[in-house]
């Protein structure tokens, strides 16, 4: 242990993750210091809410003004845990300019400003670690960046948002509506008050952007990702999917199709024997396919203060070791000439799909639908005419599973089918995930 050196931290933002980090340091400071090989001191804690001062201990300084932290020459590592784009972006970039290394859990600012942040870190030779930004305590960032470095990454797929996965799990297990499930998890304190970032798919997209930027060695912008949320999900589709051996999950999914990269966040029907089928509630699961290692699966809690704090503390330990070992900075992510990715419009991609139509209960309906699908080269793998789950005032459901088809063709066909006078409600189509 290098007992002459003390590494000084500042933590900005004391929400659920920040307060868990404080508790871990309070309990395990000695063990952490042994792992780092030096002393570690939380010099300053900053939060805009002055009442957070009650959480600090051992002579740590408290401030509501983050500028005090940035300008303090003694601080080696700034831990940014406020989330959101502003002022997180300013805190990170100013800290780097003032010579500090960064640990952050902020997926939004990284996915929005990836290039600017890492170019700055390179320029100032500082490290930015962000294991907690994706899948909380699951060490998937480090694995993509280092442990799987000996591979060309071929695909990255994951359940990356605990809130939406909890909603879908509740709907599946308790056969309740989206609204009921959402209210239940808000009452349990699992979801944020504002869940719009989660249920719209934005949070998953930020995480997919980060994983993809690492995996494919090029910044994958949010605008390059097709994003669909779970707001419009209906219980009947969960039922139907289940009866065919599938669960519905919100996946971030990326890969390569005919030498082009595709990125999508959307509901998928996942086969029950898939690794994703048993990732329930707040758990996350990530499947990474490498050219040499094959498919590697990671799973664990994707939410919760301590799970994310586990990653934050691990990052602090890694940077502290680097400082002790006299490494300037290892902001490896954009160090070298970034690859230019050729991006595929998701609608040009092929896939298998689940379709549901509510139609009049009379002869010839299926033939009309099948006829239109055929005209657009959408080939039907199987057809189910199920009893409706709730007595519909009018109509019966027809469920189709397709063979592999271009999504673009499917959309065109559905537009035509909508105009049939036997079709009563908007049609639903959901992509099927195949490993």
Chain centroid, CA 382 distance in Å: 32
Let me know if 207 is a catalytic residue: yes
180 lines the binding site for its own copies (CB under 8 A): no
Q: Which of 143, 371, 409, 412 binds its own copies (CB under 8 A)?
A: 143
Q: How far is the CB of 311 from its own copies (least distance, A)?
A: 7
Q: Are 348 and 406 in contact (CB under 8 A)?
A: yes
- Residue 361 has phi, psi (to 5 degrees) of -90, 75
Catalytic residue among 100, 207, 267, 301: 207
Sign of CA dihedral 238, 242, 245, 248: positive
245 lines the binding site for its own copies (CB under 8 A): no
The DSSP 8-state label assigned to residue 430 in this structure reads E
429 lines the binding site for its own copies (CB under 8 A): no
| Vertex 47 angle, CA 314 and 30, to 5° | 35
Sign of CA dihedral 222, 226, 231, 233: negative
Q: Contacts with its own copies: how many residues (CB under 8 A)?
A: 64
3 lines the binding site for its own copies (CB under 8 A): no
31 lines the binding site for its own copies (CB under 8 A): yes
Subset of 337-356 contacting its own copies (CB under 8 A): 337
Q: Which of 218, 314, 349, 359 binds its own copies (CB under 8 A)?
A: 314
Q: How far is the CB of 329 from its own copies (least distance, A)?
A: 8
Sign of CA dihedral 391, 393, 396, 401: negative
Q: How far is the CB of 105 from its own copies (least distance, A)?
A: 12
Q: Are 222 and 252 in contact (CB under 8 A)?
A: no
CA distance 417 to 421: 9
Q: Are 36 and 69 in contact (CB under 8 A)?
A: no
275 lines the binding site for its own copies (CB under 8 A): yes
Q: Which is nearer to its own copies, 227 or 341 (CB)?
A: 341
Q: Which is nearer to its own copies, 122 or 161 (CB)?
A: 122
Q: Which of 6, 16, 332, 371 binds its own copies (CB under 8 A)?
A: 332
Q: Which is nearer to its own copies, 303 or 400 (CB)?
A: 303
Catalytically active residues, by annotation: 207
């Amino acid at each position: 242990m290098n007992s002459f050196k003390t590494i000084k931290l500042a933590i900005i933002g004391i929400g659920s993750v920040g307060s868990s980090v404080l508790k871990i340091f309070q309990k395990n400071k000695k063990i952490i210091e042994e792992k780092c090989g030096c002393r570690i001191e939380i010099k300053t804690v900053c939060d805009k809410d002055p009442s957070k001062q009650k959480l600090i201990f051992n002579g740590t300084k408290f401030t509501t003004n983050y500028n005090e932290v940035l300008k303090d020459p003694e601080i080696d590592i700034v831990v940014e845990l406020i989330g959101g784009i502003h002022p997180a972006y300013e805190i990170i970039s100013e800290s780097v300019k003032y010579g500090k290394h960064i640990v952050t859990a902020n997926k939004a600012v990284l996915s929005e400003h990836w290039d600017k942040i890492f170019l700055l870190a390179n320029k100032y030779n500082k490290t930015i670690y962000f294991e907690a930004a994706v899948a909380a305590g699951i060490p998937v960032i480090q694995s993509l960046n280092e442990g799987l470095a000996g591979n060309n990454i071929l695909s990255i797929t994951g359940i990356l948002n605990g809130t939406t996965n909890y909603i879908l799990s509740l709907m599946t297990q308790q056969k309740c509506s989206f609204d009921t499930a959402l209210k239940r998890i808000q009452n349990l304190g699992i979801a944020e008050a504002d869940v719009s970032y989660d249920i719209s798919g934005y949070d998953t997209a930020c995480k997919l952007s980060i994983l993809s930027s690492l995996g494919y060695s090029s910044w994958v912008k949010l605008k390059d990702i097709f994003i669909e949320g779970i707001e419009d999900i209906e219980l009947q589709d969960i039922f139907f999917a289940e009866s065919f051996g599938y669960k519905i999950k919100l996946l971030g999914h990326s890969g390569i199709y005919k030498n082009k990269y595709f990125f999508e966040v959307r509901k998928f029907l996942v086969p029950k024997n898939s690794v994703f089928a048993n990732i329930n509630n707040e758990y996350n699961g990530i499947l990474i396919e490498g050219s040499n290692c094959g498919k590697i699966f990671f799973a664990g809690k994707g939410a919760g203060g301590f799970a994310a704090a586990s990653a934050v503390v691990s990052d602090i330990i890694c940077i502290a070791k680097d400082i002790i070992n006299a490494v300037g900075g290892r902001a490896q992510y954009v160090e070298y000439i970034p690859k230019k990715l050729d991006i595929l419009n998701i609608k040009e991609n092929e896939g298998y799909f689940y379709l549901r139509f509510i139609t009049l209960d009379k002869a010839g309906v299926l033939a009309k639908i099948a006829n239109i699908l055929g005209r657009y080269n959408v080939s039907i793998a199987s057809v189910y005419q199920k009893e409706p789950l709730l007595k519909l005032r009018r109509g019966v459901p027809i469920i189709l599973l397709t063979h592999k088809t271009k999504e673009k063709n499917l959309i065109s066909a559905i537009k035509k089918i909508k105009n049939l006078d036997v079709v009563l409600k908007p049609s639903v189509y959901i992509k099927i995930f195949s490993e």
